[in-house]
Amino acid sequence: DAGVTQSPTHLIKTRGQHVTLRCSPISGHKSVSWYQQVLGQGPQFIFQYYEKEERGRGNFPDRFSARQFPNYSSELNVNALLLGDSALYLCASSLAGPTGELFFGEGSRLTVL
Contact positions toward other proteins, by CB under 8 A?
31-33, 35, 40-45, 48, 50, 55-58, 88, 90, 92, 94, 96-102, 104-107
Closest to other proteins by CB, 4 vs 80, is: 4
Minimum CB separation from other proteins for residue 104, in Å?
4
CA pseudo-torsion sign 15, 20, 26, 29? positive
| Closest distance to other proteins from the beta carbon of 89 (Å) | 11
Query: Judged by CB, which is closer to other proteins: 83, or 106?
Result: 106
Q: In angstroms, what is the minimal distance from the CB of 42 to other proteins?
A: 3
Beta bridge partners of 5: 24
Those residues with Cβ within 8 angstroms of residue 49's Cβ, 6 or more apart along the chain or in another chain: 31, 32, 33, 55, 66, 67, 68, 74
C-alpha 88/C-alpha 86 separation (Å) is 7
